Every structure is written in structure tokens, then in C-alpha cells.
Amino acid sequence: MLDFEIAPNQAAALLKENKARLIDVREPWEFETSHIAGSLPMPMGEVSARAHQELDPEERLVVMCHHGIRSMNVAVWLREQGFEQAQSVRGGIDAWSAEVDPAVRRY
């Protein structure tokens, strides 16, 4: 079984190889402020209503928020719903900016 968290550089490698889908669970204003191209915006409060319609339980899901707290909660919930390959990006988009792509705006 996969760890509940994945390092930003590991997530970036999976995304580059099209081996995962990036789910951004931050609020719309946060997504507008800064996001990673190709990510699916799905605010945390909408996940329970949208997950089973929009996400594939067989797919590797990488979940991101600002610092990794909300995304961890979502990843745990997704796993409980049968999305066994859901993982939270450790440190969120803030860590992604620091470790992977400094062009991603920090806020």
C-alpha cells in the first residue's frame, strides 16, 4: 500500500509521466492566486459530492492544498471511499514552489 503522503518531487515525476492526476482541494480564490497547470480544482467542501462522479477509483490521485493539512484529510477520506491510490502532497503547493517549481507563486 502507498504511503498517505508523497514528496513534491515524487509527485512532479508522476505527473510528468502522466501516471497520476493532480487534485487541488484549495478554495477557488487560492486556486486563482496560484496553481499547477493541469490540476483539477475541487475545493475540499465539494469532494464528497464530486469524487464518485469525477474521479476513477483505479487512478493514482495526488491531492494538494496550501500546506498539506486539507489534502491529507481528503486523501484519508478518499481511501476510505475506495480510492486506494490517493496521496497527499507533503507540504502542499507551498513546498511544491520551494522544491519543484519556483515559478509557482507562494502566498
What are the residues whose beta carbons fall under 8 Å from the beta carbon of 16, sequence distance 6 or more? none
Residue-wise pLDDT for 50-85, tens only, equals: 999 999 999 999 999 999 999 999 999 999 999 999
Catalytic residue among 61, 63, 65, 78: 65
Break the chain into its structural domains and give their ranges: 5-99
pLDDT at 9 over 90: yes
Residue-wise pLDDT for 22-59, tens only, equals: 999 999 999 999 999 999 999 999 999 999 999 999 99
65 part of the active site? yes
What pTM did the predictor assign? Answer: 0.96
Superfamily of domain 5-99: Rhodanese-like domain (3.40.250.10)
Q: Is the dihedral of CA 102, 68, 82, 29 positive or negative?
A: negative
3-class state of residue 7 by DSSP: coil
